[in-house]
């Protein structure tokens, strides 16, 4: 990142390297199911590094596993990569971490819904997800989720059946809808 300022009639230039904190991996999530890891027909995702402000700045090498939190969706529209929206998405991701869930990726759908995928404890190609609207008040949605996770039967179900969790849906105001297999 280049910063230029003028102090005491002197030009001051400083250069700092952007820090990769996340990745953006395209507008759709591609799942290759049932192929061995060495299979040449398996497609690796092409991802790009993203900094703390949501700026996509460089192609990322292929990483297996969840090394970086991944974003998916139409980045060229600028909707969720605007500074304020990105900050709110990171707030929500960090809140999930703080309440004991492990978010690994976020997908912004064309209709404005968001799916935050959680870590996967079973062998399915993709883990359970949390659904919410992009227009949501992320702080209020996080509070609703925290409350729901500390009440029965969801608290016990998550503890005993996390691997069979399909989704938690937060798109309906103060209601928290969830489904297990």
Band (pLDDT 50/70/90 cuts) for residue 84 is: confident
Q: Is residue 143 domain-resident?
A: yes
Q: What percent of the chain has pLDDT over 70?
A: 84
Please give the average per-residue pLDDT across 43-65, as a whole number: 86
Give the residue with greater pLDDT, 33 vs 110.
110
Q: Is residue 141 domain-resident?
A: yes
pLDDT(82) > 80: no
Using CA atoms, how far residue 27 sits from 37, 105, 109, in Å, is 23, 13, 8
Please give the average per-residue pLDDT across 106-117, as a whole number: 89
Q: Is residue 5 domain-resident?
A: no
Prior bond of 177 cis (ω within 30°) = no
CATH code for position 119? 3.40.50.11690
Strand partners, 15: 2
pLDDT value at residue 150: 92
**Cα gap 144→175, rounded to integer Å:** 8
Pick from 174, 178, 135: which is nearest to 155 by CA? 178
User: What is the domain range of residue 36?
Assistant: 21-180
Task: Give yes or no for a contact between 24 and 70, defined as CB atoms under 8 angstroms apart.
Answer: yes
Q: Is residue 117 domain-resident?
A: yes
Q: Is residue 28 domain-resident?
A: yes
Strand partners, 49: 23, 58
Q: Is residue 54 domain-resident?
A: yes
Question: How many domains does the chain fold into?
Answer: 1
Please give the average per-residue pLDDT across 46-60, as a whole number: 91
Q: Is residue 64 domain-resident?
A: yes
* 77 secondary structure, DSSP code: G
Please give the average per-residue pLDDT across 158-180, as a whole number: 92
């Amino acid at each position: 990142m280049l910063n230029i300022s003028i102090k005491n009639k002197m030009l001051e230039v400083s250069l700092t390297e952007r820090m990769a904190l996340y990745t953006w991996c395209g507008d759709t999530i591609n799942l290759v199911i049932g192929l061995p890891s060495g299979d040449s027909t398996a497609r690796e995702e092409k991802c790009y590094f993203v900094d703390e402000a949501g700026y996509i700045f460089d192609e990322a090498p292929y990483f297996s596993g969840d090394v970086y939190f991944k974003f998916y969706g139409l980045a060229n529209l600028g909707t969720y990569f605007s500074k304020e929206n990105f900050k709110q998405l990171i707030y929500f991701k960090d809140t999930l971490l703080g309440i004991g869930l492990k978010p690994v990726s976020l997908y912004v759908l064309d209709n404005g819904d968001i799916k935050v995928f959680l870590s996967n404890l079973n062998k399915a190609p993709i883990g359970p997800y949390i659904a919410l609207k992009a227009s949501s008040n992320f702080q209020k949605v996080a509070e609703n989720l925290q409350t729901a996770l500390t009440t029965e039967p969801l608290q016990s179900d998550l503890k005993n059946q996390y691997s069979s969790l399909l989704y938690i849906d937060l798109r309906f105001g103060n209601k928290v809808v969830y489904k297990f297999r």
